[in-house]
Amino acid sequence: MPKREPNNKFKKLPRKFYERDTLTVARELLGKIFVHNLQGKLISGKIVETEAYLGEKDAAAHTYRGKTKRNEVMFKEGGHLYVYFTYGMHYCANVVTEQEGVGHAVLLRAVQPVEGFETMRELRKLDTVMELANGPAKLCQAFGIARAQNGTDLLGDKIFICDAECVPASRIGTSERVGITKAKEFPWRFFIKGNPFVSNL
């Protein structure tokens, strides 16, 4: 048996994983490992909470009214990173899904830190582990994701997502999405039941 190094343990998710139904991708991203190679310092975390944004069907999605300069990345083929700036001070990171031109994405709302604790603590200016990435803007801060990372291809070597555990349906919780005023009725938030790194409500 060859020795398995921590970073070779997981395989990068292929393009096909992302080019599927958005709600399916949002559920299946749970348990996968989100990785940022920040100038050689690896930061990674297990995805524990996501939300789906379904473009033209979804008044809460940035792409509801079609393509603009801000949301153009959401119309790329699945497997790109859509980063947007909001509330005058925060960034949020989304995984683009479906085929080119569709305009759907999955918001990464929380991860359980796995690797790179020191770097995350520096970026977050925080000593505790529990609150490093249990919210969409916290996650971006902890992972060093901002405007420059918008449009990053997740099949490249800087930011990617690795296959890991498949969370069974019985362990996935659903609810309405957080912090929106339009299309609130859709239960398109997904999280790992009982995981303490899911964001507070």
Shorter beta-carbon distance to DNA: residue 39 or 181: 181
- 70 forms part of the interface with DNA (CB under 7 A): yes
- 53 forms part of the interface with DNA (CB under 7 A): yes
Site string for DNA, 86-125 (x = CB under 7 A): xxxxx-x-x----------x-x----------------x-
Q: Return the closest-CA partner of residue 143 out of 32, 36, 48.
A: 36
Q: Return the closest-CA partner of residue 168 out of 19, 30, 23, 3.
A: 30
Shorter beta-carbon distance to DNA: residue 100 or 165: 100
Cα separation, 153 vs 155, whole angstroms: 5
- 129 forms part of the interface with DNA (CB under 7 A): no
Torsion, Cα of 71, 23, 179, 45 (10° steps)? -90
Q: Return the closest-CA partner of residue 113 out of 102, 98, 100, 127.
A: 127
Number of residues interacting with DNA: please give it, by CB under 7 A: 39
The distance between the two most distant Cα atoms of the chain, rounded to a whole number of Å, is 54
Residues that bind DNA (CB under 7 A): 51, 53, 60-63, 65, 68-71, 74, 82, 84-90, 92, 94, 105, 107, 124, 126, 131, 135-139, 177-182, 199
